[in-house]
Amino acid sequence: MYCQQFHPGICRGASLRLVACLMITIFQGLPTADAQPKPSNDFAAMLATVREQTKLPGVAAVVVRDGKVVANGAAGLRKLGDQDVVTVEDRFSIGSCTKRMTGLMIARLVDEGKLSFETTLASALPDVPMRDEYRPVTIAQLLAFTGGISAYERIGPKITPHLFDTEGTLAEREARFVKQVLQEPPAGAIGKDARYSNASYMLAAYIAAKAAGKSYEALMDEYVFRPLAMTQTGWGRPRSAERPAQPWLHIDRPDGYIPEPDVIRPPEVIFRAAGNAHMSIGDLGRFAQYELAAAMGKDPLLKPATSKRWHGLEGRPPSERAIHAGGTPWLSACYAVWPKQNIVAAIAANGGSRDDHICKAFVQAVESSFFR
């Protein structure tokens, strides 16, 4: 699959069925780089078991119950063949878990009146030529995957050559892609068929940036990362020239995991709103805590009606267990929310998963070990 070879950051991420004082109360117990609870022997053993079962290179995880960290830890290596071990301060790519954060940013713009869930593509992009079918598509439909937008899960120079045209600035590349995708036939019945789509979230974020007059990255920092005290976040690979001591991605092959090559993958930056964020396991846990607060009707960032609309796009009662996963052959991440038990848990790994088995194994282990 081309997304395995050229674009490990934004393949399909499944959504499985499996401000001040309030925010301090909600988020103060989560791990930070300078204050880490020591993992219990049982939790360390659990992580080691998950890693052994899945043959993962490295993994980090956290469990929060009643607003307090009850377990967190890390196991394994940053890169197979090297000796550097994974730590809870390390950053991991989170794949399509990024979409939930992008959606929150857009919902906050709705609260400020800069966007509406009913904003249409025609009104938001009046100068962009598009097929007539797309003109009435709304922001809500883009976020719910019912806008008919092509999936763009499989990406490569042969099947999507337009994404590998790196001429011009990022803004120019994004504008070319928006024109391209809105000239493509709908992938399903608009307003009816829910078809998973990385391009759908790219479009929603592109519109948000235009409406706010700021870059996508600036909006995410202002409306999501800083308010939730997510201080160990970034874009692209966790490992870079500036941060060499971070986990490598590893592709899941039939004969085991292989570290990623040092190559540049041009399309990733265009799809950053769909799955290009990285962060520490503590920060992923903080966002899971936000999701739990919202599910319990205590959303610290959105007005009640806006929160109900945004979180209602999932199509399930907020009291039910929810698992959000971002997985590709190169990376794995997920967080789970159990409102009835007042528990959240998050896991991230520097190796891929083809069938979400890593997330499933972790969720089962948490339910077995931490439910009263």
Q: Give the pLDDT band of residue 47 (cuts 50, 70, 90).
A: confident
Which range among 2-16, 99-113, 331-345, 346-360 shows the weakest confidence by mean pLDDT?
2-16
Which range among 3-17, 94-108, 174-188, 200-214 shows the weakest confidence by mean pLDDT?
3-17
pLDDT at residue 42 is higher than 70: yes
pLDDT of residue 36: 46
pLDDT at residue 230 is higher than 80: yes
Task: Give all strands of the β-sheet with 233-235 in edge-to-edge order.
Answer: 91-93, 277-280, 233-235
Q: Give the pLDDT band of residue 38 (cuts 50, 70, 90).
A: very low
pLDDT of residue 304: 97
pLDDT of residue 41: 61
Q: Are 43 and 297 in contact (CB under 8 A)?
A: no
* CA-to-CA dists, residue 15 to 55, 96, 324, 359, angstroms: 23, 9, 5, 11
pLDDT at residue 328 is higher than 90: no
Q: Give CA–CA dist 147/75, Å, rounded.
A: 41
C-alpha torsion sign, points 329, 206, 297, 28 = positive
Would you state the structure tokens that stand for residue 50, as one six-digit string?
């998950």
Write the DSSP string, 336-361. EEETTTTEEEEEEESB--SSSHHHHH
pLDDT of residue 266: 57
Q: Are 27 and 288 in contact (CB under 8 A)?
A: no
Task: Work out the number of other CB atoms within 10 angstroms of the CB of residue 367.
Answer: 16
DSSP 3-state of 7: coil
Q: Give CA–CA dist 63/7, Å, rounded.
A: 30
Q: Give CA–CA dist 310/199, Å, rounded.
A: 19
Would you state the structure tokens that stand for residue 226, as one six-digit string?
């800083």
DSSP 3-state of 56: coil
Write the DSSP string, 147-170. S------S--TTT-GGGG---S-H
pLDDT at residue 34 is higher than 50: no
Q: Give the pLDDT band of residue 24 (cuts 50, 70, 90).
A: very low
Q: Give CA–CA dist 305/241, Å, rounded.
A: 44
pLDDT at residue 57 is higher than 70: yes
The per-residue pLDDT for range 301-327, each reduced to its tens digit, is 999 999 999 999 988 888 899 999 998
pLDDT of residue 214: 97
Which range among 15-19, 105-109, 211-215 shows the weakest confidence by mean pLDDT?
15-19
pLDDT at residue 18 is higher than 60: no
The per-residue pLDDT for range 114-146, each reduced to its tens digit, is 999 999 999 999 999 999 999 999 999 999 999
Helices (H), 97-197: 97-111, 121-124, 139-143, 170-181
Q: Give the pLDDT band of residue 158 (cuts 50, 70, 90).
A: confident
* CA-to-CA dists, residue 25 to 61, 203, 285, 286, 340, angstroms: 21, 35, 15, 12, 19
Q: Give the pLDDT band of residue 164 (cuts 50, 70, 90).
A: confident
Can you point out the beta strands (E) in 148-247? Answer: 233-235
pTM: 0.90
